[in-house]
Amino acid sequence: MNEAESSQLVNEINDHGGWVNTSLFRLGPIDGMGTGAVAIVDIPEQTPLFHLPLDQLLMSHSSDIKNRLSSSEWDGLGQGWIPLILAMMWETHIGEESRWQAYLSSMPVTFETPMFWDEDARRELQGTEIENTIGREEADNDYRTILRPVLERHPELFPSSSNHFTLEAYHMHGSRILSRSFTIPAILTGALDNDDDDEDDDDDDDDDDEEDANEVAMIPMADMLNAVTGLDNARLFSHEEATAQSVVKGKGYTMISTSAIKAGEQILNTYDVVPNSGLLRKYGHVDTLPLPAKILSLLSDEEIGQWPLGNPADEVSIAGDLVVEIVTQRAGTGKSAEYQARVDRWLDEQDDTFVLSFTTPIEPQLIVFIRILIFDSEWQRFLKKGKLPLPVIDDSVAKLLFDILDARSSRYLHSLKDDLILVTAIPPVERRQYMSAVVRIGERRVIAAARRTVRAQTTMQGAGGVGKKKS
């Protein structure tokens, strides 16, 4: 984003009832992070940086395009992102007539997310948490079967000659939503009509559902702030939150500093703790931070190599299907039907995916699930009384855990040793290849920490530790 584009965005916000404190920060290029916000003076904690009124939030219902379609056509677009994508397509198409022209023009048109990688590059993600979450084929199908029929019925609105309603435009806006949107309570956006206070009590449950509903919103300026895990110094506050703190008045959303920011430092928004697989899928980048000593202590010298970096939030999921597959292999296919009954009962109350991380190298529920599968007495207790087994790792469970972790690890294309060489290569390798290797390293390290945890807990049980299974 150049200075002129930045000024146009600020003017657009000011013209529609918002404000930007340009004496505190500027927008500009950030190495490796695209555009970002940098403080030009020291900013104290609890300082409002900019404010957007509710009607300047770009949401599916705030665009005029909703009123140009029949209610059945609009409802047929569903409750997902398609209505918002269509709204963004329309607002881009009408250009200067849109109150979001400068905002939409400021957004990126190309992305480094795997959605836009070629087949060879995506192959490097085999085995990772991203592999089955890219969603290119599903998005293509949604465009063809849901959105395109509406576009074709209204050439007066969506001319086929325009490049604003193509599949490529659909993917572009979808990626903008994925990487830049905010999920906020619908009741604070004007999306819900709350004037029907005289409704019958029978509608109370529906009202509660509406109050719990969320809306996906594109918020100008707010999405210009980058984010780095654990380094955030600003956050977006609703008018209710900001008014309660006596920081700012006026309905809408305000970005407020949450800690002191020195001149020259980047203003960083907060997001949930996200593993590198999630960062790459959504934003097209990965975090390579110095790993805390506590995490490094879980790894061997070979697993650290010359690269003690990564993302402390990295994680690996173990699918319940994989657990059942490994258990069945050990017991023989003759017990498949019996295991399925146990799985069905488990799924009545529990999840079928188990997440491993540096914080929780072995999820206790994974141990419990294995014990229900392999121990008849613990299965019967769960079936009849609903009592779950204790998450105890004895030799039988440990052997299965090792097999499960080996099977999960075998899905990657490259070894941890090879990936550590790749990320430290001079000259550096191509960026997509590098980011894929970073994701694989983080996940393999989580698996290594899980193996070490299983070994340690098994040793403790064998030594008569707390919770040892009685013979």
What CATH number has the domain bearing residue 181? 3.90.1410.10
Q: How far apart are CA 47 and CA 119, in angstroms?
A: 46
In tens, the pLDDT along 149-196 reads 999 999 999 999 999 999 999 999 999 999 999 998 888 676 654 444
Say whether pLDDT at 202 is over 60: no
Are 408 and 341 within one domain?
A: yes
Question: For residue 194, what pLDDT is reported?
Answer: 44
Domain extent at residue 190: 58-195+208-218
Q: What's 292's domain CATH number?
A: 3.90.1420.10
Buried b (16+ CB within 10 A) or exposed e, 174-183: bbbbbbbbbe
pLDDT digit string (tens) for 343-353? 999 999 999 99
> Would 8 be classed as within a structural domain?
no
Token output for 449: 């920490």
User: What is the pLDDT of the chain when averaged over all its residues?
Assistant: 90
- Examine the pLDDT at 198 and tell me if it is beyond 70: no
Reported as a pLDDT band with limits 50, 70 and 90, residue 30 is: confident
As given in the structure block, the two tokens for residue 232 are 């955030």
Q: Is the pLDDT of residue 308 over 50?
A: yes
Consecutive H or E run containing 35:
strand 34-39
- 168 & 301 share domain: no
Residue 415 belongs to a domain: yes
Q: What is the mean pLDDT of residues 385-403?
A: 95
CB 417 within 8 A of CB 283: no
- Tokens 């999630």 correspond to what residue? 278
pLDDT score for 460: 64
CA-based nearest residue to 303, from 455, 443, 445? 445
Give the tens place of pLDDT for each residue, 421-465: 999 999 999 999 999 999 999 999 999 999 999 999 887 665 555
Into how many domains does the chain fold? 2
Query: Residue 22: what are its φ and ψ, rounded to 5°?
Result: -70, -5
